[in-house]
Amino acid sequence: MPTTHIPVLLDEAITHLNPKAGEHYIDCTLGGGGHAEEILNKTSPQGKLLAIDLDEEAIKICRQKLDQQRVIFIQENFSKIKQIYNEHFSLFKVNGILLDLGISSIELESEDRGFSFQIDGPLDMRFDKRQQLTAAEIVNKWTFNKLKRVIQEYGQESGRVASEVTKNIINARHRSPITKTKILVGAVLLAFRNILKTNKEIPWIGGSHPATRTFQALRIAVNDELNNLKKVLPQAMEILEPGGRLAVIAFHSLEDKIVKDYFRSEAKDCVCPPEIPVCRCGHKRQLKIITKKPVTPGEREIVANSRARSAKLRVAEKI
């Protein structure tokens, strides 16, 4: 099993969070612990870290690598951050919170997790193995319309591509249950051959493998990633001390939009619809946007780590 993940936008995230000696932080997405390690270095020797991840492997790896005395490890969903904080970290004032969304390379490259279309494995894709819903369940049980919607919305495929891919998945599952990633890849490739009217084994489109988006869409659906993000943002703001910062690294435009919209609406006092002349909502601004535009990786980082390509960092400060 791979045990490394190169942290994305590490310097940029740390510079914006600006952790100092003795401060306390929450890393909602521990992964391989790259960001966590740097936060611990900067908050040394007294600062504490609440380290959360859904994945028991991430927690296991980081328990061995990070200072046990200064880290509280919790295998939970960050969508429950307020409850986790109240139960495990409420003695500490929180100066910063990090969300580095999506999947780690450790998960992606694990043969038994089913996240990668390049590795044949069980069609699983759960961050948390205690969860019931797997990618196999979605692919084999969900209706045409539900499956198509996932591929179209989360995979951001056109309606035509989503329909054709779904049709081929349904044809394949009628023959026998789709339990392995390789079978799913086969169904997606067939769909693309039909659309592009080609016999090429892999009909490459725009530099990415045709199965990329379907796999990404299924992962987002299995782990309910967009809803978890919507739930965590207001709770994170509540937990932060005034002056504390929330940094979010997103890899998908739908995730980035959720963060952008949330920051924008919480950075202003009134959020009434424009047609209402006098404010009725009574909403009060609770944050200052630090990154007017998202911070993206430089050429050098992208060359060294192609995973960084689509990363966008947004940071807000609680007022």
Ligand X SMILES: C[S@@+](CC[C@H](N)C(=O)[O-])C[C@H]1O[C@@H](n2cnc3c(N)ncnc32)[C@H](O)[C@@H]1O
d(CA 269, CA 286): 8
SS3 243: strand
Task: Establish if 258 lies at the interface with ligand X (CB under 6 A).
Answer: no
Residues numbered 3-32 forming contacts with ligand X, rule: CB under 6 A? 5, 7, 29, 31-32
Segment lying near ligand X (by CB under 6 A), choices 46-54, 108-116, 184-192, 293-301: 46-54
d(CA 57, CA 75): 10
Task: Establish if 100 lies at the interface with ligand X (CB under 6 A).
Answer: yes
Segment lying near ligand X (by CB under 6 A), choices 43-51, 97-105, 172-180, 298-306: 97-105
Q: Which of 11, 9, 53 is nearest to 31 (CA)?
A: 53
Task: Establish if 33 lies at the interface with ligand X (CB under 6 A).
Answer: yes
SS3 99: strand
Task: Establish if 168 lies at the interface with ligand X (CB under 6 A).
Answer: no
Q: Do residues 11 and 26 touch, judged by C-beta distance below 8 A?
A: no
Task: Establish if 54 lies at the interface with ligand X (CB under 6 A).
Answer: yes
In sequence order, what are the residues at sequence separation of 6 or more whose Cβ sits closer than 8 angstroms to the Cβ of residue 18?
Answer: 96, 245
Q: Which of 127, 125, 128, 129 is nearest to 150 (CA)?
A: 125
CB of 5 to ligand X, least distance (A): 4
- Partnered with residue 180 across adjacent β-strands are 122
CB of 58 to ligand X, least distance (A): 4
Q: How far is CA 38 from CA 10, 124, 268, in A?
A: 8, 32, 32
CB of 125 to ligand X, least distance (A): 11
In sequence order, what are the residues at sequence separation of 6 or more whose Cβ sits closer than 8 angstroms to the Cβ of residue 169?
Answer: 139, 147, 178, 184, 187, 188
Segment lying near ligand X (by CB under 6 A), choices 72-80, 82-90, 109-117, 170-178: 72-80
For the chain, give percent helix, strand, coil, nearest 5.
45, 15, 40
Q: Which is nearer to ligand X, 43 or 166 (CB)?
A: 43
Task: Establish if 58 lies at the interface with ligand X (CB under 6 A).
Answer: yes
Q: Which is nearer to ligand X, 23 or 55 (CB)?
A: 55
Among 127, 154, 192, 263, binds ligand X (CB under 6 A): 127
Q: What region does 71 belong to: left with phi over 0, alpha with psi -120 to 50, or beta?
A: beta
Task: Establish if 55 lies at the interface with ligand X (CB under 6 A).
Answer: yes
Site string for ligand X, 178-207 (x = CB under 6 A): ------------------------------
Among 39, 52, 169, 250, binds ligand X (CB under 6 A): 52
Among 95, 181, 228, 235, binds ligand X (CB under 6 A): 228
Q: Are strands 287-289 and 312-318 parallel, antiparallel or unpaired?
A: antiparallel
Segment lying near ligand X (by CB under 6 A), choices 98-106, 131-139, 262-270, 311-319: 98-106
Task: Establish if 114 lies at the interface with ligand X (CB under 6 A).
Answer: no
Site residues, ligand X (CB under 6 A): 5, 7, 29, 31-35, 52-55, 58, 77-79, 100, 102-104, 107, 127, 223, 228
